[in-house]
Structure 1
Amino acid sequence: MMKLACSRTVSLLIFFLLLVSIFSIAEAQSCKPSGKLKGKKPPPRACNTENNSDCCEAGKFYDVYKCSPKVTGHTKAVLTINSFEKDGDGGGPSECDNKYHSDDTPVVALSTGWFNKKRRCLNFITIHGNGKSVKAKVVDECDSTMGCDAAHDYQPPCDNNIVDASKAVWKALGVPEKDWEAVLTINSFEEGGDGGGSSECDNKFHSDSTPMVALSTGWFNKKERCLNFIHGNGKSVKAMVVDECEIKIMIFSLHAITTLLMPPKLFGRP
């Protein structure tokens, strides 16, 4: 069973808080594609598009991975929604127990590297966000090595940084259904860093040891939120808005992320 992350992303603070409470991860380039998979057109009605799932495209080449990013300091991670029920968009039964699971049960599938050859099967992770938390059981692999066949519901291979969660997880966190997907990234606001030029709010660079954020265009609101502070999740860290992110993600300095992080023991020892 697996599900590709949808292309749609959402820039909500609660999603950032949710994801950083799960884990922080090294940059994706530490885990490079192991090859390509050529897509083929699914048979009629063979690809279930529930939860906005993508279907394979004939002739398109998809990256495949045997690894996932290491659990360390900073990168982006994607939380997606999946149905683990029979005839749902997840495909076949869960790999850990060969069973289907109700959408009302908090369960997750992990990308191949994090799944680690079933070593994390039936362990629980605690997901914090939106002032709430939920325990979810690892029951399946979000296959990063294969796809575009019946066993994978004719969906492309998963990316290497996916936590694919049942509806129960999102409901438990009180997240509106229209917002059920998230992307988190980390950015350097220093001169010469990956953030590019100086910050739009004050035309300055900022130390990575200072909690700073860039907001997507809508939240940035034509500089109206410049130099304001945001906070949340109980443990909170105040982070100043200094820049605009012109795509639908929210970018945080490393200090803002590490201040909010739980101890980096997402999955325990392999």
Structure 2
Amino acid sequence: MGDFSLLSLALLAAALLATGVVAGLTAGLLGVGGGIVIVPVLYYMFTALGIEQAVLMHLAVGTSLATIVATGTSSALAHHRRGSVDMALLKRWWLPIAAGVLAGATLAGNLSGGALTLVFGVVALAVAANMLLRREGSALAERLPGTPLREALGFFIGSVSVMMGIGGGTLGVPILTLFSYPIRMAVGTAAAIGLIIAVPGTLMSVWYGLDVPNRPPLSLGYVNLVGFFLIIPASVYAAPLGARIAHAIPPARLRLVFALFLGFTGARMIYGVLT
């Protein structure tokens, strides 16, 4: 552990509460998973608090994955009760997704913080471009491809998502809708995919971060327990407020704002690593 004062710990707690509020508001506004917001916010919060560059991105990713285990469980169960989870696809996809998670988490555990930040920045830019440029309702094909391309897509979702500290929604929803999945079925299935990503991803973040120096207090490997216990209630509290605000703002404008946020964040993180 690093040398953290009581004031630093109090600032960390306040920053993590604020992270949960921002993640909850964004989830309520746009229906996106919290990880795509939690990771960059944690990255900048940890930077401002002086946490070592070598560990801060790993901490952001690991803490985000741990929160997805909790929030993703209730989300996946809710979608399953409504019949919006494609169980047949999950039976075919869970193994390649899990293999991707193991590969991605192993790679992430051996990458420098800068390299991991670059991965997040590049994919965030790609997601932002997809939101800005793709026409609503457009599709690449009428159904998912067969073996082995279908399995390769699952591996891609698992490996990249775990390296970014995100659930299944950020990559799973756009990929499934590209192959003509109805949006509700895509969102529900992606919520279940998030658990396949987050559970082993969290365990491996704990493993690879054990005994690594300069972590903030109360960190289990690369999972900050203060963050875990503060982000979840704050995000749950803020999400309904975001949903209410969403009804007062045109959806197209919301997507534009979020795409610009992601694009700016991704570009800024890449710039910070390369300069």
TM-score (structure 1 length as normaliser): 0.28
- Larger gyration radius, structure 1 or structure 2: 1
More helix by share: 2
User: How high is the TM-score relative to the length of structure 2?
Assistant: 0.27
Question: Whose strand fraction is larger, Structure 1's or Structure 2's?
Answer: 1
